[in-house]
Amino acid sequence: MSGPHAEHEPAHDPEVLQLAAKVFDLARHGDTDTLAAYVDAGVPVDLTNDSGDSLLMLAAYHGHADAVTALLARGADADRTGGRGQTPLAGAAFKGEAAVVRALLAGGADPRAGSPSAVETARTFGREDLLALFGES
């Protein structure tokens, strides 16, 4: 938005941007209690950054199973793809985060969603243990 009111739009408000950056850092670092408190206080559970990564994607990719579980319990979309078309489950499979994979599967994540899917990712990296969790052994 341009014009005289652009600086008053929430997406352009420096305080809102600073809060969003903090919440994304909480997901990256696995600060589950604080992250959950922000979501409980009204931060959208499926908030995405400028790369299209959700809080769940960041928590999953960085190996924080407890944060993943907390976000899923608060209604996070387990199969929401990021800017590159992958789901949090595919990100966790890529990183070999078995505990996160289990948490996402328990939260209803589809191992065949996204591109590449978690199944395709596990196959590419020879992760037979993850393929077994996906029912693809």
**SS3 assignment, position 48:** strand
Query: 48: which strand partners?
Result: 54
Q: What is the pTM of this model?
A: 0.89
The CATH number of domain 6-133, selected from 1.10.3720.10, 3.40.190.10, 1.25.40.20, 3.40.50.12500: 1.25.40.20
Sequential pLDDT tens for the chain (137 residues): 444 444 455 566 888 889 999 999 999 999 999 999 999 999 999 999 999 999 999 999 999 999 999 999 999 999 999 989 999 999 999 999 999 999 999 999 999 999 999 999 999 999 999 999 999 86
With a CB cutoff of 8 Å and minimum separation 6, the contacts of 35 are 23, 26, 27, 55, 59, 67, 70, 71
Spell out the long-range contacts of 3-7 with Cβ–Cβ below 8 A and sequence spacing 24 or more.
none
End-to-end Cα spacing for the chain: 51
Q: In what helix (H) or strand (E) does residue 93 lie, and over which residues does it extend?
A: helix 88-95
The domain limits of the chain are: 6-133
- 123 alpha carbon, distance to own chain's centre: 21
Candidates 52, 51, 55, 46; CA nearest to 23 is 55
